[in-house]
Structure 1
Amino acid sequence: MLDLRVTAVVVAHNGARYLPTTLDALAGQSRPVDFSVGVDTGSTDDSASILQLGLPVGAPVVGSPARAGFGAAVRTAVAQIPQRKAAAEGTENQDWLWLLHDDSAPGPTALEELLLAVERAPSVTVAGTKQVHWDNPRELLDVGLSISRWAERLTLIDVDEHDQGQYDARSDTFAVNSAGMLIRRDVWDALGGFDPALPGVGDDIDFCWRNRLAGHRVVVVPAAVMRHASSRGTGPVGSRAARRAEVFLRLKHAPLWQVPFLAIGAVLGGVGRLLLGLLAKDPAHGTGQLLASLAAALRPVVLTRARRGARRTRRLPRGVVRPLLTPRREVWAHRRSVLEAFTARGAVAGGGGTGAVPEQDVPAGDSNDDFAALAAPGRAWVGAGALAAAAVLLGVSLLALRSWIGAPSLAGGALLPLPPTPGEIWEKASAWWVPLGSGAPGHGSPFSYLLWALSALGLGNPNAALVTIHLLALPLAGLAAWFAAGALTRSRGLRLWAAFFWAAVPALQVALGSGRLGALLAHLLLPLVLLGLVRAVGAAASAPSATGEVRLRPGTNGTPSWTAAAAAGLLLAAVTSAAPSLLPAAVLGIAGACLILRRRARTLWWSLLPPLVLALPVALSVGLEPRGLLGDPGVPLQFSAAAAWQQVLGYPVSFDALAAPAGVPAAGPWALVAALVVGAPAVLLAAGALFSGRRRPAALSAWAVALLVLASSAASAHLPVAAGPTSLIPPFPGPMVSAFSLAVLAAALLGADRFTSSMPATGGRRRGVRPLLVAGAVVLALGPVVSLGLWTLPHVLTTPASGTAAPASAGAATAANGTADTSSDGRAAASSTRFGTDVQISASPARTLPATAADRGNGPDRTRTLVLRRTEEGAIDAALVRGGGTTLDALSPLYAARAVQGSPGAADVRGDDDATATLRTSVAAITGGTGIDPREDLRTLGVGYVVLRQSGTAAELLAGQLDSVPGLAAVGSTPSGWLWRVVPPATPAGVEDAGAQTARVRILDASGNAEALVRSGPLTVDADIPSGSEGRTLVLAERADPGWKATLNGRVLDSQSTGWAQTFALPAAGGELEVRFVSPWQPWVEAGQAAVLLITLLLALPLPTRLKLSRLPAAARPEHGRPPAPSGPRRGGRSPEEPMRHRSGSLHTGADRGGDQHGTGPGLVGSNPGKTKA
C-alpha cells in the first residue's frame, strides 16, 4: 500500500495580482496537499507577504535569487521539506512534488486527478495538467508539450481554440508544463532537478526529456485543469530565451559527433532569423534571435557539464523519444494554420478598426501603405491633384527647357556629361584613388553612387538619364511635395498648393540653370526624406475611419515605422551624397529628435546609419580636413551668396532688390516685391502655426529645423571647399535654402490645416470667413505663379541656341567663373535681375574630346590629353584630362579641396605640388612662345595630345602659336577644338624615337629612356611584360603614394621616391605585372557599408499584407475577444501582453505563445487536421 505525501512548491515573482487566487485554489483542493513551501524570487511587490499570509500555518517561505531561475527556487524549497518517519509495516512511503507558479491556479480536483493517474500507472513519474487561459477558462493553452526534431517547443493548439474535450483522451506526451507539474521526489533527486543551464524557458522540456531517457513515463491528465496567465513572460526577452533554450537542448541531447554541425547550423539559423526579422520590420527581434543562437552555441563549458549530467542518468537510447516528436509536415501545417488565422484577423482589424486604442511606442510591423497616398473621402480620387500638378509643371518645364529635348547630354556651369555605361560610374565611385589630373589618394565621391542609380532612368544610358532628370525636375518636385504634404494635412487644396510651391522655390531654379545636379537632386528628394522621418516616428496624418475610431497603422497615431525609417535613411543618404553640406545639420537634427522623442523615436536613429556609412570612406580619406567631406559635387563654381533675408525667402544667391526682374519692362524695386510675393506668405503662415494649439509642437520642430539649416548655411560660408579664379568657394547654400523652405512649408501646412479643420462646416459662420479663405488662397497661389512666371518668361523670350557646345574643362588649373548673377556683386548691367537663375548649361556631346585623343585615352596606353582654353580675361585654363574627357562622376570634392589650406576664416590657396608645377611648366612652355621643348614634362604627365577649345579670336591666335611649338604636330580642327599630337623627337635616321613614347605606365631603362609601354586599365594594371635590362624602373603617371602596390609574378616590388610620379624598382625578368592602389580601410569599410545598406534595404521593403503581424497589445487585438486585463503589479516592469513575433515562418509570443517568467507557457499554437473548434 502506498502512502503518498504531496508537497506543494509555490514560486512567486512579482505575482501579487495573481497569487491570492492561486493560494485560494491550492487551499480548496479536494485532495489537500500534505505540506507547502513558498519561495519568493526577489519580488518588488507584496508577493512575499502574500505567501506568508496565504499558506497554511507552519509552511516555510524562503527566498531565492531572481536570476537563479525557477529550478533553483524549487531546489531551495525542496531543502525545506522535513524528513518523513519510517513507513509502517505493509506500506510504502512515496513523496511527490507539486510545482505551482504564482499565476497558475489549479482547479478544485486537479491534484486528486493527478494522483489517480500516477497510482494507476506506477511507471509514471511526471504528470501534468491541462492549461487554460487565466481570464477565459474555455480557451486552451496546452494539453501536454511536444518538440520538433530541432527541439522547438510546440503545443499544437490553435489560436483561441476552445476546450470542448477534444484532447481529453491524451495521456503519454513528450513533456508537460512546469506549472502544475507533479514529480516523484526520488526521480527529482536522481535527475538532479531542473538543469541550472536552463534557468527559465525550456527547463520543463529538458527535465521530461531526461525523465523519459531514464526509463520513466510522462503523462498529461486532461481532467486536471490549471488556469494560467501565460502571457506574462512574452516579448523580446522571452523570445530570446526560447531560442537560446531550443538551441541548447538541441546540442545537449544530440550525439557527440553531431554537436559541431548543429552548432554551426544554429548560428546560420540565427542569421536567417535576423533576415526574417528585418523583413518583418522587427530588427530587435531578429538581432535577439541571432544573439540567442550565439549565446547557446558558444557555451562549451556549460554544455559539457549538462551533457555529462544527462549521460549519467540516461538508461535508454536517445531514439526512444523519436515517436513522441512532432513530424515536420505537421509542424509546417500547423504554422500555416496560425499564419492564416492571424492574416484573416489582421484583414478584419485593418478594415474596420478596433476602437480607440492607447498610443503605442512599439515599432509596427509595416505594410505596403507606408508610403502610399493617404486615404481621403471617397467622393473623388485623391491622386487627381497630384496628376494635375504634375501635368501643369511638366508643361512649364518643357516650354522653358525645350532646347534640351533630344540632347545627347548636357554640360555647362557645374555640370559635365556622364560616361557611356553605368559600370564606369561604379568603378570611379568605389575606387580609393581619384582619377583626376595626375590623381590623388581618396575615395570616390558618394554622389557617384547616386549617379549610378540614376542611370536606370536612361535604361543604362547615363546621359539620357541626365537629360531626363533635368527636363522632369519641376513635375518630380511637385509630386514629391504632394506626397510629403499628405503626412501633414488631409486637405487636398493644401497638398496641391504645396506641390506648386515646392516646384517654384527659387533654389530649384538656380540649381537647374547653373548645372548643380547635386542641389537639384537634393531638392527633389528632401520632401520624401521628410515623409519618411514623419512616418518613422508615427506622426503622419491618418485617414479618419467611418466610425471615428483610431487605427494603429505604421507611421500614424504614434505607431513608429521601421519601413519609413529605413526608407528615410536611404533617401537621406542620397540627399547628403548630392549635398554633403546638409550632413551636419541632418545628424544634429535627427540626434536631437531621438533625444527628445525617446522611445517614440526608437526607429529614427536608423535613418542616420546609411548617410554616415556612405560618407565614412570620404571622411577617412580627408582625415582632419573636413573640406573634402562638405564640398559640392560637380565643377566648382563661384557665386555670390544671398543675404540671410533672401535665403529665408528661398533665394540661395544674391540679387539686386532694387532692380526689376528680367523680362519686366517697368523700373523700380520690383525684384524685392516679387521676392516677397514668392516667399513671404509661406513664412508668415508658418509663423502663425506656432500658435495653432495641438499642432504647435510639430510646428516648433519644423522651425527648429529651419533655424538649424539657416545657421548651418551661415557657418558653411566661412569654410572654403575649393578655389576659384578670383576667390575661395564655400559650399553652395542652395541645398540648405531648400531644406529651410521645406521646413517652412511643413510648418505652414500644419498651421493652415489647423485653421481649415477648425472652421465650421456649414452655416453663417462659414459664410462669414469665406472671403478670408479666398483672399488667403489667392495670396498663397500667387507666390508659385510669380516664381514660375519670372523663371519661364526669359526662356520664352530667348531663342534657343542650336547645335551643341563642348563644356568647359574640369580639373583645370583655374576654374571658369560660375557666378550666379551677371556681375560679381549680383547686380545686372541693365538694372534687371534673374535672381541667379540664368541658364548656364546647354546641349552637349557625350564625348568632350576629339575622337583621336579619346581613342588613345581609352586604349591600352591610357594617355592623357592636355586641354587648354583662353578665357575672356586672357588667362589660360589648363586641364589634364583622362579617357574621352572628364565626366561628372570623376569629379571629386576631396580633390577640389586640395587647393585650399588654412583654418576657417583664415583659409588661402595652397601652393602647387610637384605634379601641378610640372603641369604649369608645360603649359607655360606651350603657350609662352619661347620655343622651349615641353615633351619631357608631357611624357612624365602621360600626355599624348593637346586640345585648344574654340573660344573666339584670341583662341585662334593662340592656335597659330601652338603650331610652332616643338614636339606638337597639328592634327586639325574638330568640333571639340583644335588638336595637336605630341610626337617624339626623330632619330638620326629620320624616324620617331620609340624610346620617347608615352603612356600611363612605362618601363624605363637605367638611362631613363622608355624601354616599353605597359597596357593599363583606368586605375589598375594587369599585363605581361617582357624581360629587359638590369636597373630598370616602372613609372606611373600618377602621384606617388604609399597606397600603390605592385607585384611581378607574385613578388612585391619596392617603391622608389624619384620625383612626384609613382615609381617601382623592376627586375630584369619579365612576367605577370599587377599594380593596384590599396587602402587599409577598404575591406572593413566596404563590409560595413554592405551590411548596413543590405539591412536597410530589407527594412525598407514593404511587408506584404499576408505576412503582416498585428503589433497591438494582445488584449487590444480583435482576435482575442476579451477586454484588457486590469492593471496591477507586473513581472519585471513589463506589460502583461506584448506584441506578436514573426520568427522563421511561425508566430510566437516570447518563449512561445504562452511562455511566462518561468519559461513554462505553452509553445507554438496551431491545429491538427480534424480537430473541432468553437
Structure 2
Amino acid sequence: MSSPTSEELRPSAEAEPAVLAPPPAVAAIVTTGSQWSDTEFTLRALAAQDYPRLAVLVLCDAEGEQGLRVRELLPTAAVADPVSSRRSRGRGRQRGRMGAVNNRGASLVRGADYLLFLSDRVALASDAISILVDDAENVPGRIVGVAGPKLLDASDGLTLRDLGGTADRLGVRIPVAGQDELDQEQHDEARDLFVAPTEAMLVREDIFRIVGGFDPALEGDGAVVDLCWRIQLSGARVRVVPSATGTVQSDAAPAAHGPSARQHEHRARLRTMAKCYGWVHLLPAVILAAVLAAGEVVLAALRGRFAQASDVALAWLWNARHLGGTFALRGAAKRYRRVRDADLRRLQQGGSVRVADWFRYRLSPEGGLAARTTIDESILGTWRRNAHRTVWVVWLGVLGLIAFGSRHLLTGGVGAYGQFAHFPDAGTMLGAYLDGWRDSGVGAAGIGPPAMGLLGLAGAVLLGGVGLLRNIAIWGLVLAGPVGMWRLCATGSSEDGPSRNGRLVALVLYAVCPLPYNALAAGRWDVLLAYGTAPAIVLLTSRLVGTSAARPPRYGSRRGTAARLASLALLLAVVAAFEPFIVVLAAAAGVALALVELVRRAPRREPLGAPVAGLLRVAVAVALAAVAHLPWLFEFGSLRAFLEVSLGGRTSSTPLSLGELLRFQTGPLGDLPLSWGLLAAAAVPLLVGSGGRLWLAVRGWLVALAGCAFAWVIVAGWADQLVSSATPELSLAEVSLAFGAVGLCWAAAAGPATLATADSGAPPRIRSAMVLLSGIAVGAMVLPTAWASIDGDWSAPSFDHRVPLGLVDDRDVGPDYRVLWLGAPEVLPLRGSDLGVEGLAMGMSVRGYPDIRHSWATPQAPGDERLANAVRVGLAGDTLRLGRLLGSFGVRYVVVVERSGPSYTDGWDRPVSAAVSEALASQIDLRPLAADPSVQVFRNEAWWSSRSQFSRPIPAGFAADPVDLVVSDLTDGIGVLTDYRSATSQFGPVGAGTVLVADSYDPGWRLHIDNADNAGAAAVEPAPALGWAMRFDPPQAGQAELRFERSAVVSNRIAAQVLIWLALIWVAIGQPTPLADRLAALMKRSTR
C-alpha cells in the first residue's frame, strides 16, 4: 500500500482561485529548562523569523517568573504549563518527559498545519521555518511528515551538532554528522533520512495526530526515533533540509550519561521495536537484542560496571511490566501502517551498530594497541583500579569454590543421611508441633519440638516447597557463614577496625575452614547451623557489649538497645530450637568480649560500667532466648532431664586430639599440616599489632579460646558431671569449634591493616616477614580445601539408605508398625538415645524410613525405657525371644546401620561388634533379610501391629511383667485402623474384642465407633495396658476413628510460646531496615 503524494493532493490549475492560498500555519512549541538565557536565545530567534503565519507556544511555569519574562520578550507568544494541572505535577516523572511534554503542547494547539518542536537551546535562522515549510510542501513524491534543519554549534557556527541520522535494526540512532565534524557543505543536499534532529523538527500536524504523537513514556533520542519510525510506517517521509540552519548552545549542565539515561535508551529501543516491527521481523530482532543484552550484562559485570549491567537488565524488566501498554500501541500502529518493514530497511543500517563499532575499534591499529598496552582497557585492569571490584572478585572466587566443590550435591541433591533427614509436607511438620502428640519413640503427649513449628511455618511461607526449604536449610547455612563473617569484620572505625583487605582475608579463611565441608560429609546439621550463625551471634553480642561500632538507632537509644537485645534473643531462640547448646556458647562469647573490654579500660581509668552493662544485656538476651523455649522445657519436667536428653545420645566413637581440634579436623578435611594456617594468620596481629587493632585481635582470640575450650572440655571428658546418663563429646565439640573459627578469622582480619601502617611498632623487615607469613598462611588454608573440592561432593555420600531399605517402608499402606534402628549415633538417620551397650544408640520410626520429625531429642516416656531394657536384654544374650519383646511395641523390622551411606558410595564406617551381630542373629524370632552390606535388616516374626484387635480376651494386667510377653504368642492379633491420616488420627473398621494400641497411655485418646443403627457414635476411653500402652474395649463393631484430643495444658503452652515469639519479633523489627529501603529503591527505579 502507498500513501497519496503531494502532487495528487495539490488542486488542478483550472480549480486554482484567483487569489493565492495563504501559507500553512505553523505552531512552534518550545520546551524550556531552568536557564532563562537559553529560553531567551530561542525566543529572540523566533521573533526574527520571516514566516508570516507563525504562532509560538512556550511550555514553562506560566505563573512564575519565567512566564512573565516570556510575555515581556514575546508578547504574542502563548504560555502554558508543561503539565495539564497543578495536581498532576506530582504524579510521577513520566509527565515531565519529553514525549509527554510535547504531547501536552500539541494538545493546546488549534488550526495549525505544522508543529515545530524546539528545544530552548536552539536558535533558528530567520528563514529556516520558511525553507522547511517550502520543502515539505513542494518536494515531489510522498507526503513529508517530518522535516529537520541543520544544527551548528552556536559558539563557532562551524561545528555540526545534529543533522539527523539513521538507525540500525535494533533502534540505535546513528547520526549523520560525526563528533566535532566541521561543516564544509559536505551534507548540504536535502534528502530522506530515518531520524530527524532531536532538538528541532517540523512535523505535519495531521500525520502527528494519526500516529498518536510522541510516546509519553520515552524521552530524548529514543522518543524521536520512535516518532519518526511510526510516521514512516504511516507512509510519510522524514527529511533533513540543510539549507535551513540553526545553532545550538552548549548545555551549561550537560545531559547526564549515567545509569538513568542509559536505562532510558535501552527502554526506548525495546519498546519501539515491539511497536513498529511486524511479527516476521520482530522475533529475530528481539532474539538478537536479548543475546546482545545478555552479553552486555555479563561483560559489564566482569569489568565491574554493575550500574551498566543493572541498567540493561532493568530496561528489560521495565518493558516486561509495560507489555500491555506496548501491545495496545502496537495495535494502533497496525491500523495506520502503510509501509512494509522491508521498504523501511533501505533507510536503516543492518545488524547492530554498537557491536560493529566495538569490533571496528578493537581491530583498528590504535584500538588494538590500546587494548594491548593500556591496562585500564583490560578486564583485569578495571578490577585492579577499583577496590570494590576486588571485593567482587574475591566473593566470586569464594562462591565458585563452594559451588565447584559441591557440584555433585547441588545437581544430584543431598541424601537423607545423618541429620539431613527428609522433610515431610508443611502441614505434617506444623501438626508435629501443634497437635499435642509426638510419635517419636513410643509416643507421648505434649507440644512438639519448636523446630518443627518453625520448619512447618517456613514450608507454608514457601507454598509447600519443602524440597526448596531443605536446600535452603543446608546450603543457606553454608553461605550464611561467609556473609556473617563479612558483616562481623565491617564493624569498627577506620583507625581500629579491619581494613577492606582484612575483611577479605577473614572471608577467605572462614570460607575455606574445614568445618562446614566435614559437616556435609557427616550429615551434621547442628555443625552447619553453628557455622552459619556464629558470626551473626558474635556480631550482635559485640554490639551489646559495646565493642563494635554500630549505626545509631532511628527512634532513640532506648528503643534501639531494646531492638538489638531482642534481635540477639530472637536469633538465639531460632538456633536453640535446633541446637540448644548454642545459648551456652553465646553467653561464653559475651563473657569473653566483656572481659577484653574490662582489661582494656582498666589501665586507662575509663569507666567500667559500659562493658558490665553490656554483659548484662547479653545475659538478658540469653535469658529471653531460654524463656522462648520454656514451654518446651516444661515437657521434660526438669532442667537435668532436658540436659540428659538433649546433650546425650550423640557420643562419637572417634574422639579427637587437641591438634585435630585446633586444625578443625572433624572429618576427612583438615588432616594436612597446611591446616595450621588459620592459627598462623590469626597470630600475626598479636605479634606486631598495636592500639585498637591489637585489641581487635585480642577480642578474636578470646572468643576463639572460649569456643575451643568448650570443645576440649567436652572431648577430654571433663563435662561428665553436667549430665549423668550421657557424655556430650564430638557432636557438641564441633558446634563449639564454630565459635573458635569465628574468633580466629576475626583476629586475622586485623592483620592487613596492622601490617600496612608504620605505627605498628615493628621494624620494616619484621613487618615484611609478617606480610609473607600471612600470605603463606592464607594460601596454606586455601590449598587443602581447593584440593578437596575436586571430587565435587566433599566426600559426602551420594546416596542414602532409602533405596536399600525400601523393603521396610510400606508407603502408608497396611497395618501400623514401627522400625527399630540400632547403630553408632553418627550414622543413624534419626536422633537416637544412648543404650549404654558398646557405644550403640537406638531410635524408632513409624512406618518406614524416618524423617525430620525423628531428629529431635524428646522427653523419655515409661515405654521408651521399657523398650531400651528389652533391647539390652536381647543384646546381652539373656533371651532368644527378643522379637516377642519388641512385638509389643509394634516393631516389625530391626535395622542395624554400620555405615553412613550405602556400600557403593562415600561414607563413614561404624561397624557394630561381633557380639552384637551374634546376639541378633541368634534370636529365633528375628529373621535376617538380604540387604546392602552397610546395614543388617531383621524381620520380626513375632510382630503384631501397634493397632491390633484380639478375638480372645486379654487380661487387664497382662504383660505388666515382660516375662508374660516372652511366653505368649500374640501374632493372632489383627491389624485395625489401617487408614493412617496422621499421628493423631487413624480410621478403619473394628470388630468385637480388645484393641491394643502400642502408644504411651494418655487419657486424651478416644476410639470413636459409628453405630450401624445411626444412633450416634460411641466414644471409648483408653485403659492402661502392657504396663505402658493403651487398650480399648469397643462395645460394638463398626467404622471407627482413633483420635487424639489435645489437652488444655498443651494448648496453653503452645499459645504462651507463640506469644513470646511474637513479642520478640515485634521488638526486634521495630525499626526500618536498610535492606527494605534498598529493595524499595530498586523497585522504584525499575518502574520509573
Q: Which TM-score bucket, shorter chain as reference?
A: 0.3 to 0.5
Structure with higher helix content: 2
Q: Normalization by structure 1: what TM-score?
A: 0.44
Larger RCO (CA within 8 A; separation ≥ 6): 1
Q: Normalization by structure 2: what TM-score?
A: 0.47
